[in-house]
Amino acid sequence: MVNYDTDTQTDLEPKILELKKELNGVILAHYYQESEIQDLADFVGDSLELSRRAKNTSAEVIIFAGVQFMAETAKILNPKKLVLLPDLDAGCSLSDSCPAPLFKAFREKHPDHIAITYINCSAEVKALSDIICTSSNAEKIINQIPKEQPILFSPDRNLGRYLIKKTGRDMLLWNGSCIVHETFSERKIIELQIQYPDSKLIAHPECEDQILKRADFIGSTSKLLNFVQEDSALSYIVATESGILHQMKRFVPDKTYIAAPPEKSCNCNECPYMKLNTLEKLYLCMKNKEPEIKLEPDLINRALKPIEKMLSMS
Ligand code: 13P
Ligand code: SF4
């Protein structure tokens, strides 16, 4: 019997690599992408690392295997380059929870506050912010803001609460969240901890407080990946999108990684937006040079400032 999927994939990989050469392109992928896409990418990283790579690339075309806000950031940093996203519908629930007109009103209500905004937001919201941050550099950036300066932190309330605890700063929070990081079941995680008493719980700061309270280590995707490489434990319960397990297994194959489970029997610990990108769509977007990220020059100019501020502060 012919395995259609496998045949398609093995056919596509060399074609994608050939197209990349023709386009003088670079494939950037986030850790939450399907493993086949991660394996083909020139660079796999977290939001901060991907922004840095996008800024410094000499390639003419950036093929972004991630979600819209990440590809938009790459475009803002490289307005003259063609930036392709395999599926334009790859959005983000967190970004959607913060529409620009409401965010503008929030800012206007608190004119004395500086706005530090998580990179998981639209280009319009970036343009309305003072400084962008990621989960890798948020603490470092907040610690550089003078103590007397009040702060608005948007859009993730879980990351915001975590940062308030870490920095001791009393920030005003936007009430947004990520559908994936709010899916983890505390009850099932405790069951796993009883079943695997030597395992460590490691969590992304977008998780809810009851999960973070139980975590042995909290960090961005790349910090979680570094932790399992440096730490002495042999097994981990991983509370973030399950795509990261691919790199954990690649870097430290002899350890055990258990994806933190959702309460329901579903694949809710997979980001439905990230997973819209497939190898087939990656191939087609490179072949057709679309879908392309398009942003107005004025929006690019306004959104660039808070992103550059982030890069200079991190
Ligand atoms: P990282 O920057 O930690 O990779 O997070 C990106 C993200 O979307 C988390 O949900
Ligand atoms: Fe957005 Fe959550 Fe998906 Fe990250 S995991 S891209 S925050 S919906």
* pLDDT, tens digit, 9 for 90 and up, residues 179-229: 999 999 999 999 999 999 999 999 999 999 999 999 999 999 999 999 999
Q: How far apart are CA 6 and CA 12, in angstroms?
A: 10
8-state DSSP, 261: P
User: What's residue 8's pLDDT?
Assistant: 55
Q: Compute φ and ψ for 34, nearest 5 degrees.
A: -55, 145
* pLDDT, tens digit, 9 for 90 and up, residues 239-288: 999 999 999 999 999 999 999 999 988 999 999 999 999 999 999 999 99
Residue 297, pLDDT above cutoff 90? yes
User: What's residue 9's pLDDT?
Assistant: 58
User: What's residue 265's pLDDT?
Assistant: 86
Residue 3, pLDDT above cutoff 50? no
Location of structure tokens 């913060």: 98
| Domains of the chain, each with CATH number or no CATH | 9-90+274-294 (3.40.50.10800), 94-179+303-313 (3.40.50.10800), 186-259 (3.40.50.10800)
For ligand 2, the distance from its centroid to the CA atom of residue 147, given in whole angstroms, is 31
Residue 6, pLDDT above cutoff 70? no
Mutate to test the pocket of ligand 1, among 220, 238, 247 (most ligand atoms within 8 A of CB): 220
Nearest CA to ligand 1 atom 1: 46
Cα 43 to Cα 63, 114, 257: the distances in Å are 11, 33, 23
Burial 151-170, CB ≥16 within 10 A → b, else e: bbbbbbbbbbbbbbeebebe
Task: Read off the pTM.
Answer: 0.94
